[in-house]
Amino acid sequence: MKREPATATQTEEQDGYGSQVLELIGTLDGHQRGQSLFDSLLEKILTHEARVAVMGLGYVGLPLIRLFGSKGFNVTGFDIDKEKIGILAQGRSIIKSVPSETIAKMLKEKILTVTADPKALGQADAIIVCVPTPLTAEGKPDVSYIRATARAICAQMRKGQLVVLESTSYPGTTREVMKRELERSGLKCGESFFLAFSPEREDPGNKRFTNEQIPKIVGGIEEYSRRAAAALYGEAVSRVVEVSSCETAEAAKLLENIYRCVNIALVNELKMCFDRMGIDVWEVIDAAASKPFGFQAFYPGPGLGGHCIPIDPFYLSWRAREFQFNTRFIDLAGEINIQMPFYVIAKTEEALRQRGKRLEGAQVLLLGLAYKRDIEDPRESPAFKIIELLEQKGAKVTYNDPNVPKFPKMRHYRHLKIKPVPLTERALSAADVTLIVTDHSVFDYEWIAEHSNLIVDTRNACGRLKDWQQKIVRA
């Protein structure tokens, strides 16, 4: 039987079908390539032969280095700050939570290598990214550090590597920024390399939970990426929580921080409200906390601090606007928390005025630069805004913080004139007001109260000092 020549329509249909078949074959080939590379990487991870590189050697990166090193992995620490690399190369740590002895031991045993040379990234089997994600001056997410890091990895990238982003950002960052930049190498995610997001869960100063005990959330660009990242963290932590996508993992991290932001804003607002009513907000919270269910205590303060809570909620509110959605709770919480340093200044001015003094020209001794008790981390501490406002009002400000003995280098607030002073009887008695911003447990509050003329207490650190209440003002 003679076959009729194909019509134009039939030819188009056949060509379309053919392209679909070729696309399917290509996908299968890519899947097979991904399977082979995944199997090879998985074997390295499970035998601890994989080399782990950590980019960003700060409050998140250094604890990760210690964690993976303690599990028998060889670790490369990378940072663009050559001064920091020089310090670490001498076996000296830059944060208290990772002792210098640990760094020195890892270097001596050749478990750890520290470098500022990006070429070392090409030798790693897994690269974990822990770089800053600040806000711009306009309050928008600044992913420039993530983008620059991805480009540095891309320049050294080889097949079979796993890249994990731990830096907190808006949902979509891993896929839209990291993946896009990494695939400029010509390699394809899921076929030639693997990419996942696993949010950092550091809590500086928390001695109840170690890195190993804190569950790790993992979301991948696709299945192999998720499984590879889950396998890596599974060799280091007690529990891995796998989720369906990078976006889910990114959103989970934001929820954790927004939960705290909103609840802290609530108690900060109640503090200001109850103050007008003559009610002690700390006594109220302690009483409410006696309920064994349905209540979790949050405590007010002079404002939010740390890298996460003051910043991360605005990542989601910014992203939500791209979907025509207004995050009213988040925005309101942000407004309240941002106003707290101004409230502290107002209370300080009022306390001085009642004693016949003005803030202008007053000697103010500020206790605590770190953003919370018993840590050395000053990032986003409300102390800096309070100092700026005090100096704008004409006050002469000094500070003492045994955990931050030297005024830190900050992206902002470089213009501040404040200097550290020893905490002595003379320093306390010379100050018109002692302003407690961070309630370090090392401070002897009974002794501080005895020698101070006036105390403005933003943390209720002196709440139990019954003998000195006449000179203590809560703010």
Q: Classify the C-alpha dihedral 246-249-252-257 as positive or negative.
A: negative
Residue whose tokens read 């949050």: 298
- Strand 240-242 with 216-220, pairing: parallel
> Comparing C-alpha atoms, which of 279, 299, 280 is closest to residue 289?
299
Return the bridge partners of 189, or none.
Answer: 193
Catalytic residue among 189, 246, 261, 308: 308
C-alpha distances in angstroms, 393 versus 96, 331, 335, 359?
35, 28, 22, 7
CB atoms inside a 10 Å sphere around CB 361: 11
Which residue from 123, 120, 142 is spatially nearest to 131, judged by alpha carbons?
142
Side chain identity at residue 135, one-letter code = L
The SS3 of residue 113 is strand
Active site residue 189: no
How far is Cα 76 from Cα 54, in angstroms, rounded to an integer? Answer: 6
What's the distance, Cα to Cα, between the start and end of the chain in Å? 97
- Bridge partners (DSSP) of residue 220 are 196
Burial class (CB in 10 A: 0-12, 13-18, 19+), 118: middle
Handedness of CA 161, 164, 169, 170 (dihedral sign): positive
Question: Catalytic residue numbers?
Answer: 308
